Amino acid sequence: MPELPEVEIVRRSLDKKTKNKKVKKVLIRNRNLRTKIPLHFSKFLKGKKIIKVKRFSKYLIICLSNKSYCLLHLGMSGTIHLIYNQKKSLVTNASFYSSPLLPKKHNHVEIFFDEFKIVYNDPRRFGFFELVANEYFLVKKFAKLGPEPFQPEFNLNYIYSFLKRKKKNIKNLLLDQNFVSGIGNIYASEILFLSKINPEKKVFFLTKKDCEKIILNSRKVLINAIKKGGSSIRDFKNTAGKQGNFQKNFKVYERKGLNCKRSNCKGIIRKKIISNRSSFFCSMCQK
């Protein structure tokens, strides 16, 4: 599943390619995504210029010239492909996960511009599009989500006051989008390793020093992942010719049975299923 860094890579690709470009046509091949694509979707987008592409959490926010918005959530398996009219590209994927080339099946939405089109592909159909009339409704849409790790609101006072009301473990809390937006399963494991915190530790046992580590390492891990192009267990280049390789920097994720990478630690990386998700952690240095 694409997490915040992967969605940010898609955002940068789309923003670079579509900024100030006018939508010529929209073709919908399948409306049945996680939520049905609205009947007026094509009319809503056609003729509008894309001012820029923003992101919040795992949502792509396409800003249109009439001050309305089109939101896109990639779900579990959604990808965006850029297809040019006059030239063939060896790689069409705007990010680094899933197929580098446009698959033949599950191409649900095509948005046409003068020189190219963008295609939304989603085999599992957990992604969705949402139309937002104006900024008021955009703010309202995200009101219940927690801050991103990069935002100043994600601070010690916020975290420590939030923990007092919770009985869950820290791994599940990091995945709770109402607490903090954008952290997914891969990066939660990496953040907790750097913080030396066991994923099953109950949050009411966390100290203020633990919380400070979580703030620092959440930002550190996500920024590093964005710089590395995100995590794509399969290596290939995106449409810009760059390769996503944060997976080469994993400290614990998918390293079950291997030695801990922390110096002076003789621990072994363990895997445990927590709330139906794989969690990886060091058996010794994560307390």
- In angstroms, the CA 92 to CA 80 distance is 8
Cβ-in-10-Å burial (0-12, 13-18, 19+) of 254 comes to: middle
Paired residues of 131 in beta bridges = 70
Q: Is 7 in contact with 127 (CB distance < 8 Å)?
A: no
Q: Is 17 in contact with 82 (CB distance < 8 Å)?
A: yes
Cα 87–Cα 8–Cα 215 angle in degrees, nearest 5: 165
Q: Which of 3, 8, 148, 190 is catalytic?
A: 3
Q: Which of 2, 5, 149, 199 is catalytic?
A: 2
Q: Please indicate whether residue 153 is annotated as part of the active site.
A: no
User: What is the token pair recorded at 217?
Assistant: 């390492």
- In angstroms, the CA 98 to CA 77 distance is 8
Q: Which of 11, 17, 58, 117 is catalytic?
A: 58
Name the residue among 195, 151, 189 with its Cα closest to residue 57: 151
Q: Please indicate whether residue 277 is annotated as part of the active site.
A: yes
Q: Is 209 in contact with 272 (CB distance < 8 Å)?
A: no
Q: Please indicate whether residue 124 is annotated as part of the active site.
A: no
Cα 139–Cα 141–Cα 142 angle in degrees, nearest 5: 70
Question: At a CB cut-off of 8 Å and minimum separation 6, what does 114 contact?
Answer: 21, 22, 24
Q: Please indicate whether residue 3 is annotated as part of the active site.
A: yes
Residues designated catalytic: 2-3, 58, 277
